[in-house]
Chains A and B, each alone.
Chain A
Amino acid sequence: MAEEQQTSRFKRRKMAPTDENNDRKNPYLAHMYGGDTDSQHDSGVSISDGASLNGFSNGGSSNGLKLKRHATTAKDAKVAEDGPHNYFKPQSQLSDRYFGILKTRRGLPVHAQRQEFLDMYQKTQILVFVGETGSGKTTQIPQFVLFDDLPQSQAKMVACTQPRRVAAMSVAQRVAQEMDVTLGEEVGYSIRFEDMTGPKTILKYMTDGMLLREAMNDHNLTRYSTIILDEAHERTLATDILMGLLKEVVTRRPDLKLIIMSATLDAQKFQKYFLNAPLLAVPGRTHPVEIFYTPEPERDYVEAALRTVLQIHATEPEGDVLLFLTGEEEIEDACRKINLEADDMIREADAGPLKVYPLYGSLPPAQQQRIFDAAPASFKPGGRPGRKVIVSTNIAETSLTIDGIVYVVDPGFSKQKVYNPRIRVESLLVSPISKASAQQRAGRAGRTRPGKCFRLYTEGAFKKELIDQSYPEILRSNLASTVLELKKLGIDDLVHFDLMDPPAPETLMRALEELNYLACLDDEGELTALGKLASDFPLDPALAVMLISSPEFYCSNEILSLTALLSVPQVFVRPAAARKRADEMKELFTHTDGDHLTMLNVYHAFKSPSAQENSKQWCHDHFLSFRALQQADNVRLQLKRIMEREEVELVSTPFEDKKYYENIRRALVAGFFMQVAKRESSGKTYVTVKDDQSVLLHPSTVLGQDSEWVVYNEFVLTSKNYIRTVTAVKPEWLLEISPNYYDVDSFKKGDVKTSLQRVRDRESRRAAVKGGGSGSRR
Chain B
Amino acid sequence: MAADLEEEEDYLSMSFSEPTESVKETSLQRTARLKKEAAERSRPLSKKERAEKGKATRDAALATQIDASNKGAQMLAKMGFNGGALGKSENARTQPIEVLVKDNRGGIGMDSEKKRKLRDAAEEVVGQEKKRKVGEEEFRLRARDEREERKNEGQMWSAMRTLESFETGAFDEGDDEDGGEDATKTKDAASSRPLKSINVLWRPLVKQRLEKERKRRARHDLDQSLSRRADYDDPDADADDKLALGTEVEEQLDDEDAELDEFEALSFVDRLEKILEELRTEWKYCFWCKYRYPDQEMEGCPGTTEDEHG
Contacts and interface: CB of A to CB of B under 8 A. Distances in A.
Interface in A441-467: 456-458, 460-462, 464-466
A371 interface: no
Contact of B100 (A431, A475, A693): A431
A493 B54 contact: no
A511 interface: yes
Nearest to A416: B97
A719 B75 contact: no
A509 B70 CA distance: 8
Interface string B55-78: 101100110111000111111101
A500 B89 contact: yes
B38 to A, nearest CB: 8
Nearest to A719: B103
A692 interface: yes
A476 interface: yes
A507 B96 contact: yes
B97 A471 contact: yes
Contacts of A296: 113
Nearest to A695: B54
B80 A429 contact: no
Contact of B75 (A502, A506, A521, A695): A521
Contact of A297 (B62, B100, B110): B110
Interface stretch (A22-30, A347-355, A400-408, A419-427): A419-427
Interface string B252-264: 0000000000000
B100 A299 contact: no
B72 A423 contact: no
Contacts of B66: 421-422, 506, 509-510
Given A422-B64, A525-B79, A509 B54 contact: no
Chain B CB within 10 Å — which of A465, A502, A696 has the most? A502
A411 B95 CA distance: 28
Contact of B50 (A429, A475, A514, A684): A684
Chain B CB within 10 Å — which of A422, A456, A501, A692 has the most? A422
B122 interface: no
Nearest to A420: B99
Contacts of A500: 89
B3 interface: no
B107 A301 contact: yes
Given A432-B108, A517-B71, A475 B97 contact: yes
Interface residues of A, number: 81
A429 B101 CA distance: 7
Nearest to B99: A420
A758 B101 CA distance: 37
Interface stretch (B40-48, B209-217, B292-300): B40-48
Contact of B54 (A495, A514, A693): A693
Contact of A503 (B73, B86, B101): B86
Contacts of B109: 297, 457-458, 460-461, 464-465
A523 interface: yes
B54 A502 contact: no
A681 B103 CA distance: 28
Interface string A487-505: 0000001111111111111
A512 interface: yes
A195 interface: no
Given A298-B110, A412-B108, A525-B79, A495 B65 contact: no
Interface residues of B, number: 53
Contacts of B61: 422-423, 691-693
A682 B86 contact: no
Contacts of B62: 420, 422-423
B78 A524 contact: yes
A496 B103 contact: no
B41 A431 contact: no
Contacts of A692: 57, 61
Contacts of A683: 44
A300 B105 contact: yes
Interface in B20-46: 41-45
A508 interface: yes
B87 interface: yes
A419 B160 CA distance: 87
Given A457-B109, A505-B94, A692-B61, A418 B85 contact: no
Nearest to B116: A297
Contacts of B102: 413, 429-431
B101 to A, nearest CB: 6
B107 A411 contact: yes
A261 to B, nearest CB: 21
B101 A423 contact: no
A312 interface: no
Contacts of A221: none
A332 to B, nearest CB: 16
Contacts of A509: 66, 70, 72-73, 75-76
B230 to A, nearest CB: 65
Given A502-B89, A504-B96, A721-B54, A456 B79 contact: no
Contact of B106 (A301, A476, A720): A301
Contacts of B72: 508-514, 516
A682 B44 contact: yes
B45 A685 contact: yes
A377 interface: no
B73 A721 contact: no
Contacts of A475: 93, 97
A684 B16 CA distance: 44
Contacts of A277: none
Contact of B108 (A413, A418, A421): A413
Interface string B168-197: 000000000000000000000000000000
Given A421-B66, A423-B61, A495-B86, A512 B108 contact: no
Given A429-B100, A505-B94, A509-B73, 13 more contacts: A296-B113, A297-B107, A299-B110, A422-B62, A457-B108, A462-B108, A471-B97, A502-B93, A516-B72, A524-B75, A525-B76, A692-B61, A719-B51
Interface of A: 273, 294, 296-304, 411-413, 418-423, 425, 429-432, 456-458, 460-462, 464-466, 471, 475-476, 493-514, 516-517, 521, 523-525, 681-685, 691-696, 717-721
20 contacts: A298-B110, A299-B110, A300-B107, A412-B107, A432-B108, A461-B112, A475-B97, A476-B97, A495-B80, A496-B86, A497-B87, A504-B95, A504-B97, A505-B84, A505-B86, A512-B76, A516-B72, A523-B78, A684-B44, A720-B54
